[in-house]
Amino acid sequence: MAEKNTCKPLGKEPHAFRMLHAAKWYWPMVGGIETAASDITGAVQGKADVNILVCSVSGSENGITEGGVPIKRVPTLCNLCSTPISIRYLTEFRRMSKHADIIQIHAPFPLSDLALFLCKRKRTAKVAVWWHSDVVKQKKMMFFYRPLMKSMLRRADAIFVAGEAIAKNSEYLGVYADKIKVIPFGIDLEKYKDVKYTNYLTDKLTDKNSVKLLFVGRLVYYKGVEVLLRSIKKTKNTELFIIGTGELDKPLKTMSKELGLEARVHFLGRVGEDELHGAFYDCDIFVLPSVSRSECFGLVQLEAMAFGNPVINTSLPTAVPEVSINGETGITVPPGDSFALAEAIERLAENRELRENYGAAAKARCEKYFNLKKMQETLYIEYRKLLSLKEET
Residue 78 pLDDT > 60: yes
Q: Are 177 and 194 in the same domain? A: no
> Is 293 part of any domain?
yes
Q: Are 274 and 238 in the same domain? A: yes
Q: Are 111 and 220 in the same domain? A: no
> Is 197 part of any domain?
yes
> Residue 257 half-sphere exposure, CB side, CA atoms within 13 Å?
6
Q: Which amino acid is at 26?
A: Y
Q: Are 28 and 89 in the same domain? A: yes
Q: Are 180 and 265 in the same domain? A: no
**For the chain, how are helix, strand and coil distributed in percent, rounded to 5?**
40, 20, 40
Count of structural domains within the chain: 2
Q: CB count, 10 Å around CB of 144?
A: 10
Question: ∠ at Cα 65 (222, 296), nearest 5°?
Answer: 20
Q: What is the distance of C-alpha 127 from the center of its chain?
A: 21
> Is 150 part of any domain?
yes
pLDDT per position as a tens digit, 16-49: 789 998 888 766 665 667 777 788 888 888 888 8
Lowest mean pLDDT segment, chosen from 91-100, 135-144, 172-181, 328-337: 135-144
> Is 9 part of any domain?
no
| Residue 193 φ then ψ, to 5° | -75, -35
Run of H or E residues at 70: strand 70-75
**pLDDT at residue number 165:** 94
| Residue 268 φ then ψ, to 5° | -100, -10
> Is 7 part of any domain?
no
Residue 204 pLDDT > 80: yes
Average pLDDT rounded to a whole number, residues 186-205: 88
Q: Are 177 and 212 in the same domain? A: no
Q: Are 133 and 279 in the same domain? A: no
Q: Are 143 and 199 in the same domain? A: no
> Is 8 part of any domain?
no
CATH number for position 226:
3.40.50.2000
pLDDT per position as a tens digit, 171-185: 889 899 999 999 999
Measuring CA to CA, how many Å separate 326 from each of 2, 200, 331? 40, 28, 5
Q: CB count, 10 Å around CB of 48?
A: 20
| Most trustworthy range by pLDDT among 171-180, 260-269, 271-280 | 260-269
Average pLDDT rounded to a whole number, residues 168-172: 90
Largest CA distance in the chain: 66
Asked if residues 354 and 153 have their Cβ atoms less than 8 Å apart, the reply is no
**pLDDT at residue number 2:** 39
CA dist 267 and 82 (Å) reads 26
pLDDT per position as a tens digit, 105-146: 988 888 888 889 888 655 678 999 999 888 766 666 766 778
pLDDT per position as a tens digit, 298-325: 999 999 999 999 999 999 999 999 999 9
> Is 392 part of any domain?
no
> Residue 364 half-sphere exposure, CB side, CA atoms within 13 Å?
10
**pLDDT at residue number 27:** 67
Residue 13 pLDDT > 50: no
Q: Are 211 and 336 in the same domain? A: yes
Which residue segment(s) compose the domain that 361 sits in? 190-369
Q: Are 75 and 203 in the same domain? A: no
Q: Are 316 and 379 in the same domain? A: no
Burial 197-234 (b: 16+ CB within 10 A, else e): eeebbeeebeeeebbbbbbbbbbbbbbbbbbbbbbbee
Q: Are 298 and 204 in the same domain? A: yes
Lowest mean pLDDT segment, chosen from 3-7, 22-26, 69-73, 282-286: 3-7
> Is 4 part of any domain?
no
pLDDT per position as a tens digit, 356-381: 999 999 999 999 999 999 999 999 99
**pLDDT at residue number 30:** 59
